[in-house]
Amino acid sequence: MTGLYPDTRNIMNKSFHMSPDEFRKNAEAVVEWIARYQENVSKFPVLSQIEPGEVYAAFPEHPPQRGEPFEQVLRDLDEKVMPGITHWQSPNFYAYFPSNNSGPSILGDLLSSGIGVQGMLWATSPACTELETRVLDWLVEMLGLPSTFLSSGSGGGVIQDTASSATLCALLAARERATNFASNEVGCDGTLVAYTSCHAHSSLEKAVKIAGIGKKNLRLVDVDEAFAMRPEALERMVEADRRAGKKPFLVMATVGTTSSNALDPLGAIGGIARKHGLWFHVDSAMAGTAALCPELRWTQKGVEQADSYVFNPHKWMFTNFDCSVFYVADRKMLIETLSVLPEYLKNQATMAGAVFDYRDWHIPLGRRFRALKLWLLLRHYGVEGLQHHIRRHVELAQEFLQWVKADERFEVMAPAPLNLVCFRLKGSDEENQALMERLNQSGKIYLSHTKLNGKFTLRLCVGQAQTEREHVGAAWELIRSESGNRVIE
């Protein structure tokens, strides 16, 4: 055959799909690959050592015209992709905050992919919705959160992709409550003002831009010596904005800031929110997992006043990315803010108001069956198993803190109530940055940094699923050796 069309005579009986038998064979190879990777992840350089463009250049300029053997794909994964991976699952990963996974969570994700439902409505797969509701109700009990977040009352929870999306949804609901839904109809008038700590996550700044509030209407509140928001500074700002004709509508408190794990005083901030009619959102993305342990729930004191709350099981609770849990005390406000119901989504269960349609609880219409991986994780570890690992991580971080304090070359830069230690050499910013770069380029550990009180500060966060005392001890020995030989015992 000639012309524009290919000769199809030899492929008419070929489906091009991976057959069930081929899938079984290839799936066994992938599971073995993952298991082997987890066994050996500590042997890889934690931070990828490649230069920009190397992975891109390793692959052909044009896509494959014909399918290739799966074995070749796995070889290319090993030889061309893996050198460009920074190993977040390494027990020697101490940068940022953890992004964990675990065996049961990986299997849950595999099941979700295999079932392949699109759970936008209850009707499109009832189990996708109802299992999520049940598991999130379990977490309210497990974390000691207020009963207002239970689905049996006026509130409830939903799994978002990230805390950034949850914060945006909280901001949107707060905006509509403050304007009686006028901003959804005609847009914002420039009077709404939101507040958070100057050490809070940048997600709120992005949210005010997306939501039409504007960066100029986000107030960053001063912090105390522990880098926690000053309630009295917040109240002064709110009152000043009111006098200026502005309309304060939301305050976000943080339990565990990214820079230093600072803990904003929820009780005092919540009281100010109630007094002035502000929506009170609590970002507990990383540190929220600590509340699995009753002795650490003091970090959440005052959360019962929150209108919304977010924490990320995909950070410190061994649930692979993405899985962010978002609770509201009044689900009606959230749903009315986000719901759009075209004709093609109408169905009997939705119209009767008898079910949750989680498409109305977040930005996207479509949604994956994320609850499966969280459900498998909870079934495998139980509360007891998760508590064991969280306590162990906190113990290891506290031990590292004591090692830093005992070495006169270093200084601790912030309180370390949980699993993050902020420290630095007693020297210049340049010396500290050079130290971090040497450590990271060694491939043996990976640290990140922040600036506290204007000083370049190293951060070591203990939170990876496989991290044990031997790894933290080796990290400290490397830090000491790269800082010189004079050590105080």
Largest CA-CA distance found in the chain, in angstroms, rounded: 82
Which ranges in 154-244 belong to alpha helices (H)? Answer: 163-179, 182-186, 203-210, 231-243
Let me know: does 156 contact 136? Beta carbons within 8 Å. Answer: yes
pLDDT for the residue 484: 78
Strand order, beta sheet including 247-254: 156-160, 324-328, 308-311, 279-283, 247-254, 192-197, 218-221
Let me know: does 337 contact 174? Beta carbons within 8 Å. Answer: no
Poorest-pLDDT segment among 121-125, 151-155, 289-293: 121-125
- Half-sphere exposure (CA, 13 Å, Cβ side) for 250? 32
pLDDT single digits (tens) 16-54:
898 999 999 999 999 999 999 999 999 999 999 899 999
* Sign of the torsion angle spanned by Cα atoms 243, 249, 253, 259: negative
Is residue 260 one of the residues assigned to a domain? yes
Is residue 81 one of the residues assigned to a domain? no
Is residue 30 one of the residues assigned to a domain? no
Distance CA 144, CA 185 (A): 38
Examine the pLDDT at 10 and tell me if it is beyond 70.
no
Distance CA 42, CA 44 (A): 6
Which residue range is the domain that position 341 belongs to?
117-368
pLDDT single digits (tens) 170-200:
999 999 999 999 999 999 999 999 999 999 9
Domain with residue 288: its CATH number is 3.40.640.10
Distance CA 146, CA 254 (A): 17
pLDDT single digits (tens) 200-223:
989 999 999 999 999 999 999 999
pLDDT for the residue 486: 38
307 or 353: which carries more pLDDT confidence? 307
Let me know: does 346 contact 327? Beta carbons within 8 Å. Answer: no
pLDDT for the residue 122: 82
In the chain, what percentage of residues exceed pLDDT 90?
86
Is residue 126 one of the residues assigned to a domain? yes
CA separation, residue 413 to residues 212, 227, 333, 410 (Å): 37, 10, 41, 10
Let me know: does 297 contact 144? Beta carbons within 8 Å. Answer: yes
Distance CA 88, CA 100 (A): 7
Taking alpha carbons only, the member of 416, 381, 376, 383 closest to residue 293 is: 383
In the chain, what percentage of residues exceed pLDDT 70?
95
Q: Domains in the chain: how many in total?
A: 1
pLDDT single digits (tens) 259-273:
999 999 999 999 999
Partnered with residue 283 across adjacent β-strands are 254, 310
Stretch 326-333: mean pLDDT: 95
pLDDT single digits (tens) 87-145:
999 999 999 999 999 999 999 999 999 999 988 888 889 999 999 999 999 999 999 99
pLDDT for the residue 314: 96
pLDDT single digits (tens) 472-484:
999 999 999 999 7
Let me know: does 297 contact 291? Beta carbons within 8 Å. Answer: yes
Distance CA 289, CA 311 (A): 7
Is residue 253 one of the residues assigned to a domain? yes
120 or 394: which carries more pLDDT confidence? 394
Stretch 354-371: mean pLDDT: 89
Is residue 193 one of the residues assigned to a domain? yes
Mean pLDDT of the chain: 92
Which ranges in 224-320 belong to alpha helices (H)? Answer: 231-243, 266-276, 313-316
Distance CA 409, CA 475 (A): 16
Examine the pLDDT at 167 and tell me if it is beyond 80.
yes
Per-residue pLDDT band at 344 (split at 50, 70, 90): low
Q: How many CB atoms lie within 10 A of CB 255?
A: 27
Let me know: does 171 contact 213? Beta carbons within 8 Å. Answer: yes
Q: What is the DSSP string of 449-479?
A: EEEETTEEEEEEE---TT--HHHHHHHHHHH
Stretch 237-247: mean pLDDT: 96
Is residue 482 one of the residues assigned to a domain? no
Distance CA 230, CA 181 (A): 31
Examine the pLDDT at 3 and tell me if it is beyond 60.
no
